Chains A and B, each alone.
Chain A
């Protein structure tokens, strides 16, 4: 457990999130050490995206507290929340590029909005960011002219535009081919180390985690079920962790959503 408060950039304590009448997170404790890459893993629907959204203040929490740096997210005014968000870059699950802007303008938007840089300098910054994700050549293309993986890379460039000191990635590897995957893994590590920032990576990809993460959390059933360095997790003797890391369909985490008996369901006449 990370008990030293000063070493944690982000800290969730006893966080409960309720969406509609569904409790998505319950009493969750999670700490993200400063300057490290922290992976958050867990089965689909376990609330990984919700954790990120709680950190950025996009979903309200009904109990507990979330600290980011020296502010508590749930106590911020709209203005202070925006100040905080300016220092956070987030890569959304599907990229969420603005469809009526070119790649260039997508990346330039936060710069034009939050800085007073002259257009010539903005151009330099944007091209540098696009180059970092290998898509400088696609600057004048629109999101619909790019593949899903390319969209995500442009979105990464956009998230990095303002040089954030925290990066949050929501499943950055889905839909990437092995080459881009390797590049993405290295990029995340590089961004973290070269810029000296703190990163949180939500992912399903258990096998990749040891290549970039310093610390891992596995969440399931609304809370953290295991945590540790990648090496420590391999040796944890816990049903959920074992099942998840080995990718087994049967175990404590059901693959199937609760349903009536399969044979009966098939044979029944409606």
Chain B
């Protein structure tokens, strides 16, 4: 490989791809229509995405809460500050770990399904068939999935956080014998509803949008073959992870 082609692979291709993804998004946005059909279909997608990801999010949330509390307990006890345990746990969950981990799990579970589904619809000419019936696939297939991600991810983040707090309580109150009411009182006294909690929910909505945008984009632009669809699902997971971590840094910098 020449230097030129390496540079191309590393820098030029991703930029081109990004341009195409943005163009795709604008097309999708410009063709959006809002009616009863679209609303019902969006709700159906929220349901599917939510159901698909629920179990993995609940299990992961619980164990993340467990291990996070363990590490925080160890760190805080070195400073004799274990009374701050609840606060430290809740803040790291609400502000960072909840949204980021949830959306990465979401991309792996629901995002890949959406990519594969759209890729397969393309490969089997179902998208062409819609076009031929004078039904816009952008509006009927892409739009509901795009919007559903924005709604589903915040809800899943909520579930993740609740499960993680539960894990935290199990470790600290039941295993370490920390006083339950003070653990909760601590959280209630220090965590701000607006900045900490709603800030996290805002992040979750942005990440949900990113995840569903990339999922529909990679499905839509996949090569209509088995291999093409397989590649597209991989791209969905990897690109979403990178995009989310990058966006997370930018958002956090602005929100703090």
Contacts and interface: CB of A to CB of B under 8 A. Distances in A.
A96 B224 CA distance: 13
Given A96-B124, A96-B126, A99-B124, A88 B135 contact: no
Nearest to B31: A78
Interface string B110-137: 0000000000110011101101111110
Contacts of A58: 128, 131-132
15 contacts: A58-B131, A83-B134, A85-B133, A86-B134, A88-B132, A90-B132, A92-B128, A92-B132, A94-B124, A98-B126, A98-B129, A110-B133, A113-B133, A113-B134, A114-B133
Residue picked from B120, B129, B136, most chain A C-beta under 10 Å:
B129
B227 to A, nearest CB: 19
Interface string A5-44: 0000000000000000000000000000000000000000
A85 B132 CA distance: 6
Contacts of B121: 99
Interface residues of A, number: 19
Contacts of A98: 126, 129
User: Considering the complex of A and B, which 6 residue pairs feature the smallest CB-CB distances, nearest first?
Assistant: A96-B125, A82-B134, A96-B129, A85-B134, A110-B133, A86-B134
A92 B127 CA distance: 12
A153 B19 CA distance: 41
A117 B135 CA distance: 17
A192 interface: no
A83 B133 CA distance: 10
B83 to A, nearest CB: 53
Interface in A69-94: 82-83, 85-86, 88, 90, 92-94
A83 B136 CA distance: 12
Contacts of A86: 133-134
A56 interface: yes
Contacts of A99: 120-121, 124, 126
A109 B133 contact: yes
A109 B129 CA distance: 11
B26 to A, nearest CB: 15
A86 B135 CA distance: 9
Contacts of B136: 82
Contacts of A90: 132
A91 to B, nearest CB: 10
A114 B130 CA distance: 12
